[in-house]
Structure 1
Amino acid sequence: MEKVIAALWAPADEPAADYAERLLRGLPGALRDAGVSRVRINVRDADVAAGAALVQSWQVPQQDAIVQFWLPSANARFRGDIDAALAAHSAHFALYLVAESTIIANTDHAPQPGQRTWGWSQASFITFRPDMARAAAIDHWHGHHTRVAIETQSNFEYVQNLIVRPLTAGAPAYDAFVEECFPATALDQPQVFFDAVGNQPKFEANLATMMDSCAGFIDFARVDVMPTSQYDFGAA
């Protein structure tokens, strides 16, 4: 089995709320009919509007939704129905084959099929620093930053997806996709985000440690970070 991540852009004339509703209503079934499993959809909706200040943009316009799924083979020869389903639910899309690593599984607020997951999900497409070899960036990410992300944040789910290769022409040149889930209050309360409620010195230390670690491997000019609502649609 292979994991694929799809970045979706909404039609320009479709309101964000309508687009999110249309995706959640129609896309999971269409993808399952096309042969995929373990569908997850991350949408940008009113439930995460309070986190607008957390958005970081490279793409203009930025992605409106992210879809994650598994399939027997990501080879284009076998993806015809899948790509058609994605095309019917977007103005355009980009696909990536990824290697998934679950650092923190969501056991505290386990997703329920078809329902919005508790809290919210920070969806991050990142690019490694251009002055670093890919192997060195991955070594920093896995060998150093993973610990920092666990120790300095209130994340209750943390999944790293190393991009193996893009699957569609013209896909933005990212190196990884990261998903982290946080309590709802972390959308606009930085002390909650950095696991330091009521403790300003701890907040400042955690923030500085996180920013220093990110600077060690991420090209901040080529990232797309967005708060999303997460929906899982089961394993079948």
Structure 2
Amino acid sequence: MEKIVCALWGVDNVALLAGLPDALHAAGARGIRINIRDEAVAAGAALIQKWQEPQQEAVVQYWLPSANAIFRAGADKTIAGHCNRFAAWLVAESTIIANREHTPVSGQRTWGWSQASFINFRSDLDRMEAMNVWHSHHTRVAIDTQSNFEYVQNLVVRPLTDDAPEYDAFVEECFPVEALTDPHAFFDAVGDPAKFKANLDDMMDSCGRFIQFGRIDIIPTSQYDFG
């Protein structure tokens, strides 16, 4: 099985959630997840970081036996019918923190909210060097300094569509509702200013070691899983 991540532009959230999962399933997809930008996460607008203009409005993640174009055609056609434009990437998934605290229920919105991050590695680092920082250093920092109850890293293997923006990775992290608007809740430091500063400083320092700021798209989303 191979995992595909798609960014979508020009979507109708209601139609996307109602029609895409069954249609993708019929096209052979499994493990379908849809992340949308909706009213439930509107309060987190300050968390948005933008590179693409316009910025992606939704993310679709799913698995196929093969991501080769001839076997992906049905899924591509289905996704194209639910948006004005989409871009797709083949990724390698690594589940750092599985969501066992608020287990997703098929077809229902997952508790809290999900930060969907499309990132690029620093241009002055070669890919292996950046990956080493990400996997061997930053992963531990992200676990220790945040209130995330799900954390999934997806390394981009290759783009699958001609117009796909050049990203190196897609990261998804789920947080409590309070973390949408309260930085102290985001950094797991409610009522503890010293811990908040330490966690914030550690995270920013770690991100700066491998992420190319200015070439990232970070959006708060509502997460929906479909069996």
**Alignment map for 1:4-83 (pairs within 5 Å):** 4-10=4-10, 19-83=12-76
Following superposition, the deviation at residue 93 of structure 1 comes to 0.4
Give the whole-Å Cα distance in 2 for the aligned partners of 1:170 and 1:92. 10
The letter for the 2-side match of 1:7 is A
Give the letter aligned to residue 185 of structure 1: E
Partner of 2:200: 207
Question: What is residue 116 of structure 1 aligned with on the other side?
Answer: 109
Alpha-carbon distance in 2 for matches of 1:37, 1:200: 43
Question: Are residues 1:160 and 2:153 paired?
Answer: yes
TM-score, normalised to structure 1's length?
0.95
- 3-state DSSP class of the match of 1:161? strand
The residue number in structure 2 matching 1:192 is: 185
SS of 1:208's partner is helix
CA-CA distance at 1:169 after TM superposition: 0.1
Could you say what secondary structure the match of 1:100 adopts?
Answer: strand
Deviations 1:194-219 (A, max 9, x none): 00000011101100000000000000
How far apart, in 1, do the equivalents of 2:177 and 2:13 lie?
19
Return 5+ residue gaps in structure 2 as ranges: none
Say which SS state the counterpart of residue 131 (structure 1) adopts.
Answer: coil
Q: Cα deviations across residues 149-197 of structure 1 (Å, max 9, x unaligned)? A: 0000000000000000000001000000000000011000000000000
Match for residue 2 of structure 1? 2
Equivalent residue runs for 1:133-144 within 5 Å? 133-144=126-137
Distance 2:164 2:6 in 1: 10
**1:81 CA drift (Å):** 1.1
Cα distance in 2, alignment partners of residues 113 and 147 from structure 1: 30
* Match of residue 210, structure 2, among 203, 217, 226: 217
Q: Distance in 1 between matches of 2:82 and 2:97?
A: 31
- Aligned-residue CA RMSD in angstroms? 0.6
Aligned-pair distance for 1:68?
A: 0.4
Instruction: Name the SS for the 2:148 alignment partner.
Output: coil
Q: Residue 167 of structure 2: SS of its match in structure 1?
A: coil
- How far apart are 1:79 and its partner, in Å? 1.4
Cα distance, 1:78 vs structure 2? 1.1
Distance 2:161 2:43 in 1: 33
Q: Secondary structure at the match of 1:79?
A: helix
Deviation at 1:48, TM superposition (A): 0.3
Structure 1 segments unaligned to the other structure (5+ residues)? 12-18
Alpha-carbon deviations, 1:9-36, whole Å to 9, x = none? Answer: 016xxxxxxx111110000011011111
Determine helix, strand or coil for the equivalent of 2:115.
strand
- After TM superposition, what 4+ stretches of structure 1 lie above 6 angstroms from structure 2? none
The whole-number CA distance in structure 1 between the counterparts of 2:71 and 2:150 is: 31
Distance in 2 (CA, whole Å) between partners of 1:181 and 1:218 is 20
Question: Following the alignment from structure 1 to structure 2, what is the Cα–Cα distance between the partners of residues 94 and 30?
Answer: 18
Separation (CA, whole Å) in 1 of partners of 2:26 and 2:36: 21
Paired amino acid for 2:125: M
TM-score (norm 2): 0.99
Q: Which residue identity lines up with residue 201 of structure 2 in the other structure?
A: A
Percent sequence identity over aligned pairs: 66
